């Protein structure tokens, strides 16, 4: 099945002349490094003193990854092409290379002080090419095969900065996700870039870390999809990324794709620091260390911010119990030894549904008529109550305000166990990027309220 891609919305914009923050950067050795506001916001030098993602492989299921980019040399494994093109390190669209640079870019030049640096600069990238051109369909069968390959070839995190924003995931895709989850792999996917109220699939599937995008002030990007099932949000607005298809080697983009890559990189850092944790327990650390920052009054999970904005350093340093092996998001059921998925799932989609429809069609006529009558009566009561409130209430129309009621099955969780955002650790280890620090308001460095308050 073809699907609409969850891609960054401005991926073709050149970096040259772009200004990401409201204040001009201070002069430094490299303009590209100056524009990476995420590194400054997270004070990544302190985190890199703990780990840089050593020993962890992140699979990038995308348009390929060009390992010849100077900021990615030595980080990109051979990978595999699933499009018939033959080369996973050929990236015509440029998207996969960009996502890889946000995850494991290491910079270049003297002391690697120039170019792109990802959040996990020593993680390895396994490029799995499922698209060639930007307008190619994102086929379930193709990316599902790539996901299985990633699992079988040592990936501990799978980055899906692609997704289906127009329909559901087919059995092949669901089975591939279940396969990865059953074999201890963290799967991260973008929520979508339509500004809609439904999280795209496969991000919306059980156990998948679904990611929305926020800007440099920690506010939700207006095109980021929201809704039940959103797990986390991460920086995704005006993000610099590597792109060998451009003359200057870099581009500028906004989208949940970029945010997804940052969450995948954070997962890689946690897996490197805590190799004994299961995939579910890694996800638990990502969720428990996230924060709503300056957004007050939100309850986790929130339909716009999920469990909060990722905080890489806190994901590594906070005292968080391991929790259940399956983690807080649960998992998809596999067809192996299960009554769901695979051929059984197909049977449920066919004969079982047919039986249910046949059964419903035989309901007694009296019961149907009685049900309609009940609806009419209840509707009349509701109408009377609402009219009475309008006439007798003190607030007038719209005085209720507040947050609209959540959808079916949406149960905000209590804030117990979510901790205050401590002050950032002192700079140490990896060289501090120069540029935007201190010149623009950054809530990432602020003391936020308790997540559930």
What pLDDT score does 174 carry? 95
Fold of 13-338+420-445: Rossmann fold (3.40.50)
Range scoring the smallest mean pLDDT among 63-77, 251-265, 311-325, 420-434: 420-434
Average pLDDT, the chain: 76
Largest CA distance in the chain: 82
What pLDDT score does 166 carry? 60
Q: What is the dihedral of CA 298, 299, 305, 310, to 10 degrees?
A: 100
- The answer to whether residue 62 is catalytic is yes
Residue 87 has pLDDT above 60, yes or no: yes
Q: Please answer whether residues 134 and 284 qualify as being in contact, where contact means their C-beta atoms are separated by less than 8 angstroms.
A: no
Please give the Cα distance from 311 to 28 (Å, whole number). 26
What pLDDT score does 411 carry? 35
What pLDDT score does 152 carry? 98
Domain boundaries, given as residue ranges, for the chain: 13-338+420-445
How do residues 34-82 score in pLDDT, each as one tens digit? 999 999 999 999 999 999 999 999 999 999 999 999 999 999 999 999 9
- The answer to whether residue 69 is catalytic is no
pTM, entire model:
0.74
What pLDDT score does 136 carry? 77
How do residues 231-241 score in pLDDT, each as one tens digit? 999 999 999 99
Structure-token match 């209840």, residue found: 378
Residue 25 has pLDDT above 70, yes or no: no
pLDDT above 90: percentage of residues in the chain: 60
Out of 34, 40, 45, 62, the active site residue is 62
Please give the Cα distance from 389 to 395 (Å, whole number). 9
Banded model confidence at residue 442, pLDDT cuts 50, 70, 90: low
What pLDDT score does 195 carry? 94
* Better-predicted residue by pLDDT, 196 or 370: 196
Q: Which of 198, 206, 128, 139 is nearest to 173 (CA)?
A: 139
Q: Please answer whether residues 225 and 196 qualify as being in contact, where contact means their C-beta atoms are separated by less than 8 angstroms.
A: yes
What pLDDT score does 133 carry? 85
The pLDDT of 116-127, averaged and rounded, is 98
Angle at 21 between CA 15 and CA 25, to 5 degrees: 80
Question: Can you read off the two tokens belonging to residue 29?
Answer: 């050795």
Banded model confidence at residue 29, pLDDT cuts 50, 70, 90: low
Please give the Cα distance from 72 to 97 (Å, whole number). 9
Residue 255 has pLDDT above 80, yes or no: yes
A 10 A CB-CB count for 127 gives: 30
What pLDDT score does 8 carry? 56
A 10 A CB-CB count for 14 gives: 13
Out of 257, 289, 291, 333, the active site residue is 257
Q: Residue 358: CA atoms inside 13 Å, Cβ hemisphere, count? A: 6
Banded model confidence at residue 413, pLDDT cuts 50, 70, 90: very low
Which of 137-141, 172-176, 356-360 is predicted most confidently? 172-176
Angle between helices 256-273 and 279-289 (to 10 degrees): 110
Banded model confidence at residue 318, pLDDT cuts 50, 70, 90: very high
Residue 271 has pLDDT above 90, yes or no: yes
How do residues 353-401 score in pLDDT, each as one tens digit? 333 333 333 333 333 334 434 444 444 444 444 444 433 333 333 333 3
Out of 8, 45, 71, 95, the active site residue is 95
Give the full edge-to-edge strand order of the sheet including 13-14: 13-14, 250-253, 239-242
DSSP string for residues in 126-155 = EEEE--SSTTS---HHHHHHHHHHHHHTT-
């Amino acid at each position: 099945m073809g699907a609409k891609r969850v891609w960054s919305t401005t991926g073709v914009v050149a970096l040259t002349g772009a200004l990401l923050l409201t204040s001009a950067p201070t002069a430094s050795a490299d303009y590209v490094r100056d524009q990476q506001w995420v590194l400054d916001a997270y004070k990544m030098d302190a985190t890199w003193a703990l780990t840089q993602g050593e020993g962890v492989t992140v699979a990038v299921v995308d348009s390929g990854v060009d390992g010849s980019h100077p900021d990615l040399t030595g980080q990109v494994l051979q990978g595999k092409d699933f499009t018939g093109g033959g080369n996973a390190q050929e990236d015509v669209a440029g998207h996969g290379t960009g996502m890889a640079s946000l995850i494991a870019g290491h910079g270049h030049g003297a002391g690697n002080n120039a170019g792109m640096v990802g959040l996990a600069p020593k993680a390895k990238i396994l490029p799995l090419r499922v698209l060639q051109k930007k307008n190619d369909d994102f086929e379930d069968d193709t990316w599902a095969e790539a996901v299985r390959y990633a699992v079988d070839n040592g990936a501990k995190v799978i980055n899906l900065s692609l997704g289906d924003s127009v329909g559901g995931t087919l059995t092949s895709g669901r089975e591939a996700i279940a396969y990865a989850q059953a074999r201890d792999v963290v799967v991260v996917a973008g929520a979508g870039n339509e500004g809609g109220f439904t999280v795209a699939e496969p991000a919306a599937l059980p156990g998948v870390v679904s990611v929305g995008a926020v800007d440099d002030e920690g506010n939700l990007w207006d095109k980021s999809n929201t809704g039940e099932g959103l797990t986390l949000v991460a920086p995704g607005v005006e993000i610099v990324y590597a792109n060998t298809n451009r003359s200057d080697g870099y581009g500028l983009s906004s989208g949940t794709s970029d945010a997804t890559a940052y969450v995948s990189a954070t997962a890689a850092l946690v897996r490197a620091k805590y190799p004994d944790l299961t995939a579910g327990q890694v996800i638990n650390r990502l969720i428990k260390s996230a924060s709503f920052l300056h957004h007050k009054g939100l309850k986790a999970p929130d339909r716009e911010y999920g469990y909060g904005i990722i905080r890489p350093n806190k994901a590594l340093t906070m005292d968080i119990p391991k929790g259940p092996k399956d983690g807080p998001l649960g998992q998809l059921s596999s067809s192996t030894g299960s009554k769901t998925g695979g051929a059984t799932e197909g049977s449920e989609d066919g004969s079982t549904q047919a039986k249910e429809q046949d059964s419903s069609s035989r309901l007694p006529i009296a019961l149907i008529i009685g049900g309609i009558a009940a609806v009419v009566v209840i509707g009349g009561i509701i109408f009377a109550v609402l009219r009475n409130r309008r006439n007798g209430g003190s607030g007038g129309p719209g005085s209720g305000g507040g947050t609209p009621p959540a959808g079916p099955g949406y149960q905000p969780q209590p804030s117990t166990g979510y901790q205050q955002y401590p002050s950032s650790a002192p700079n140490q280890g990896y060289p501090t990027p120069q540029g935007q620090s201190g010149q623009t308001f950054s809530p990432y460095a602020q003391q936020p309220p308790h997540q559930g308050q």
